[in-house]
Structure 1
């Protein structure tokens, strides 16, 4: 079996060591005589797994006291709606910083439950840059400020954490969580769909400050209330045990790589290699994103002649590279450089890109 170089934006590559461990455990996990998917989530074995996964994540991110870690379901999109349900009451408003497709969707899904105000946006710039901080119009009394640190489709990324004063900062970190160290204490709530840097789709990891769990929110069923999930150790209902198990393996793999400092250094090298290839191609390849806003995780790029797009994609796939087609909203190409994408994979990609440019330039 030959594994391809996988640059998918999500569901994305998982570390090969994690997949091999899962393969090894598939029929007999932890000496149980069954797969982890076949055992009770309330049994001693799984409860120990869950506790270790949380402990590993807390170590990786240096999660301070006063925060709960939740393993939820629904994908980030569900939580676009569920967050205002939990953090705001009737008549409340929240500020949204919109820098791409997922920020737009967060506003749209929140709007039935809260007065979602767009405090800043870069839509006029086609989401190719970030809105300057002095243009943000944060409103007094906001329940929270929401932003997307990394936009997967448009390839823009905040390289700092915005200062929004005493208002809780909420971040959709789906495509950049665990890619480098993060000061969790700067946030009120962090959430991330697992399918990019954590594990398989169907799991959401959330880190939420205790005082926000105590907010009354609005009337809703218990299953939607984060405080209920926290009180029940994320087992208010049957959780995604397979996703939780693979997330725990991924956390352990990250610790074995040297943690998030080492991972951040590797991710920076990968992005530098690819952007230098694009910028040094004499215009054959182009990055449309403003340099200061370029994402390390998702690198969209175009060819100087769009007529070559189909040729590039066909040849790259034949050469063993997966999922380099850009999102339909922006076109072109996109290479996603999540944690499980090795520096070797990026080096192979840039070799192909240079060869392609030499043959088609």
Structure 2
């Protein structure tokens, strides 16, 4: 088999194309059987060998030993290994104790993507990533896959559901952009230690310092006391954005108010301005507000359109739903108490 045929088989296998179709395409290119010096059985054997060799000689056993050591250190560490018909490792999934505990706190939305690690394995890397209360990415679990096809992904998601004990997330976001892929791959390459250090630093800063108030209204002070610095800064950005908002009262029905809020958006280079009108409904009894932009429901941040009305009504109280527990700095999340037990797979610990 020449290098062209080998490469074509490997690429098609990565893409999840059935082997019989791959062989048929080679047959079409060769025009007839006599011009093809190998058969479908040989192709199947070659692909099986390639999948096995992606781990490298001895690497599969080293990875398995690593998982066993991690589970001895923490019984909450989980891993699943998928073997082929000949007992060779082809897919793996794992999640450490801290990642599993963090999922309980930040499982509302997760991002799932597959990318290629820039290392010798050249295998699809599939991490499950969420966002913590500092809007930092946080790892919930990950897989290393031999191929990208439906069967493999079914196995991966079954392993994932087993890991989280069936507590499914509200939404899964997939993103195939290369920039996102590179960022996710880098996140795990540098991985858990760096992420934990950044989160600990952000926790310390949020508990011991805060951004100064911009307008000094009561609810701004409440958000300053409740939210982490990263989230409070996003809220203050919305306060500054109110400078580009005007409003008009269009309807009153008892304690129910309806406003039209015009948001002036300036495009790049300032040569064009667009005016978008949103509808804000305010309940003076429940101290609740809703905006047609639905950005609070989407991002969990109180947006300028609602805040503009709350300020105009001189609101001293507001609905509890406006302070999400997800963003609070005083919530003790379960993963804080989990000691990270990761080690470098290639470190001297392997010899112990």
Q: TM-score, normalised by structure 2?
A: 0.26
Specify which structure has the higher proportion of strand.
2
> Radius of gyration: which is bigger?
2
Specify which structure has the higher proportion of helix.
2
Q: Which has the higher contact order (CA 8 A, sep 6+)?
A: 1
Q: TM-score, normalised by structure 1?
A: 0.26
